[in-house]
Amino acid sequence: MGNNSYFTNSIRFILLVLLQVLIFNKLNFFGYINPMVYILFLYWYPIKENRAMFISAGFLLGLTIDFLSDTMALHAASTVTIAYFRPIIMRFCFGANLEFQSFKLSNATKLQQITFLALLVIVHHVMFFSLEIFSFANLLLILKKILSIGASTLVLCLLLSSLFSTRKE
Amino acid sequence: MQQIINFIIRYKNFLLYILLFMTALVFSVQSHSYHTSRFFNSANWISGNIYKMSNNITTYFNLDVENKRLLEENKRLRILLINQKTTDLLEIDTTAIRYTIVSAQVIKNSYANPKNYITINKGKKQNIGQDMGVITSNGILGIVENTSTHFATVQSILNTKSNINAKIKNTNYNGSLIWDTKAYNVAQLVDVPRLVPLRVGDTIVTGGMSSIFPENIPIGTIKKFELNTSKSSYTVDIALFNDMTNLKNVYVIDNLNRPEIRQLESKTADGQ
């Protein structure tokens, strides 16, 4: 991971936080749907990462979002969870391809990419909403929120990632 | 010893994860209780300024509506003033003043979470402190929870932690205003005794039992009511007067007698 990568990731970090806080937190589609597009940071993060560094970065990202949206430390808890489980999810999605030195996210098939992103979103949202609502009496409400907000997050993340993807030659 | 070190080295990522996760959890759980959420709030310098900047841009789009609303309020207050019996407006008895008011603007609002907070652009420098009431021209909005030098966060009535004394207008039947997180324009009034005659459409106002809000600040009207499971008291759905999705100009109310009330109450509590 070179200097260039640090730079790109810091810029991405700041832009995604601002995008999340200033636009997507105010969306309130149907009154409650606010997609969490900052998950893209963890999706785009280089594959060959220093794991401890990556987990800390995830925690910091969640904490920044928490600071700006008055959600205590819920985003931090759920983001650090997907940061920790990302290698396992990647092994599940990409299988043996992951072992190749030249493997990149853009080399994977579209389906693999979508599965990877969807799993990140699902784990994140399950964690986030169970902690936020924190009662099994409201299981239906938790499920409703996970499904509706998860779907909107997934769609918007896919749109954004295809918008900013590097063109394959 | 060697084995312990090996264990730590082998599972260092897992340990790091557990550590960070627990930290986050402790912060979250701690701030479930009132007055301890001082660490994670958007009243700090960085977030306050980010929201202020974005607010400076977006305010312009609503100026027209906002002006009309303020004009409407001015008209109402003018009518009250003109029709008052005392004609001498200069006669102001400062010993009778119980409340002071600071005007502020909302720079961040949320209503989609179970715990919603509003950030306003006035803080300690304008003498805003914890537990002051916040209202708009339409009605009640929330209670100041945290302050920084230039900003403050307000615990909205759309917050599961919120619990405000309220009553039915022109009576002394009291209840507690809470929120069940279901809809952003409906709050709940609980603990209303079964004997109270209720009617759909009745107005609900703040009660006199709180040292935060003055009495008779409008909240909303009764939408529907039903007996709770123990059949001993009513749970009333209230359609709020305030449009919680569209807030701009707010007033922060400071009760000048509150330190005295608080001191007296704590003394009484100690004696028990």
Mean pLDDT of chain A: 86
C-alpha torsion angle, residues B116, B122, B123, B125 (rounded to 10): 180
In chain A, which residues have their Cβ closer than 8 Å to the Cβ of B54? Answer: 22
pLDDT attached to residue B90: 58
- Contact between B50 and A132 using a beta-carbon 8 Å cutoff: no
What span, in angstroms and rounded, lies between the C-alpha atoms of B193 and B213? 22
pLDDT attached to residue A73: 84
Residue predicted with more confidence, B109 or A1: B109
Put residue B165 in one of left, alpha, beta given phi > 0 → left and psi -120 to 50 → alpha: beta
A98 inside 8 A of chain B by CB:
no
Q: What residues pair up with B144 in beta bridges, in sequence order?
A: B154
B134: nearest Cα among B114, B158, B115, B112: B158
pLDDT attached to residue A126: 93
pLDDT attached to residue A147: 93
Integer CA distances (angstroms), A164 to A40, A41, A161, A168, B116, in order: 11, 12, 5, 12, 33
For residue A134, the chain B residue with the least C-alpha distance is B29
A14, A66, A72: which to substitute to probe chain B, counting the most B Cβ within 10 Å?
Answer: A72
User: B206 CA to chain A: closest CA distance, Å?
Assistant: 26
Contacts of A76 (CB under 8 A, 6+ apart): A59, A62, A63, A65, A66, B20, B23, B24, B27
In chain A, which residues have their Cβ closer than 8 Å to the Cβ of B41? Answer: 70
pLDDT attached to residue B36: 47
Residue A56 scores a pLDDT above 60: yes
Please tell me which of the candidates B13, B27, B245 has its beta carbon nearest to residue A51: B13
Q: What is the mean pLDDT of residues A125-151?
A: 87
Please tell me which of the candidates B13, B50, B114 has its beta carbon nearest to residue A133: B114
- What confidence tier does A146 reach under pLDDT thresholds 50, 70, 90? very high
Assess contact for B111 and B154: CB atoms under 8 A.
no
In chain B, which residues have their Cβ closer than 8 Å to the Cβ of A80? Answer: 17, 20-21, 24
pLDDT attached to residue A166: 63
pLDDT attached to residue B37: 52
- Contact between A67 and B40 using a beta-carbon 8 Å cutoff: yes
Q: What is the mean pLDDT of residues A4-8?
A: 84
What span, in angstroms and rounded, lies between the C-alpha atoms of A95 and A79? 23
pLDDT attached to residue A169: 43
What span, in angstroms and rounded, lies between the C-alpha atoms of B10 and B20? 18
B29: nearest Cα among A32, A77, A99: A77
Chain B residues interacting with chain A (CB cutoff of 8 angstroms): 12-14, 16-17, 20-21, 23-25, 27-28, 31, 37, 40-42, 44, 46-47, 50-51, 54, 110-117, 119, 153, 181, 183-184, 245
**Phi, psi dihedral angles at B184 (to 5 degrees):** -80, -5
A18-22, A82-86, A164-168, B160-164: which range is least confident on average? A164-168
pLDDT attached to residue A121: 94
pLDDT attached to residue B32: 56
How many CB pairs below 8 A link A and B?
92
- What confidence tier does A154 reach under pLDDT thresholds 50, 70, 90? very high
What does pTM read for this prediction? 0.78
Residue A2 scores a pLDDT above 70: no
**Phi, psi dihedral angles at B215 (to 5 degrees):** -70, 155
pLDDT attached to residue B51: 85
Q: At what angle do helices B12-30 and A74-94 cross, to 10 degrees?
A: 150
Q: What is the mean pLDDT of residues A44-68?
A: 88
Residues of chain B with pLDDT under 70: 30-43, 85-95, 271-272
What span, in angstroms and rounded, lies between the C-alpha atoms of B232 and B236? 13
B8, B20, B162: which to substitute to probe chain A, counting the most A Cβ within 10 Å?
Answer: B20
pLDDT attached to residue B39: 57
Query: Residue B137 in 3-state DSSP?
Result: coil
Assess contact for A16 and A40: CB atoms under 8 A.
yes
For residue A55, the chain B residue with the least C-alpha distance is B17
pLDDT attached to residue B94: 65
pLDDT tens-digit readout, B212-261: 888 888 999 999 888 888 888 888 999 999 888 888 889 999 888 888 88
pLDDT attached to residue A98: 76
- Contact between B17 and A84 using a beta-carbon 8 Å cutoff: yes
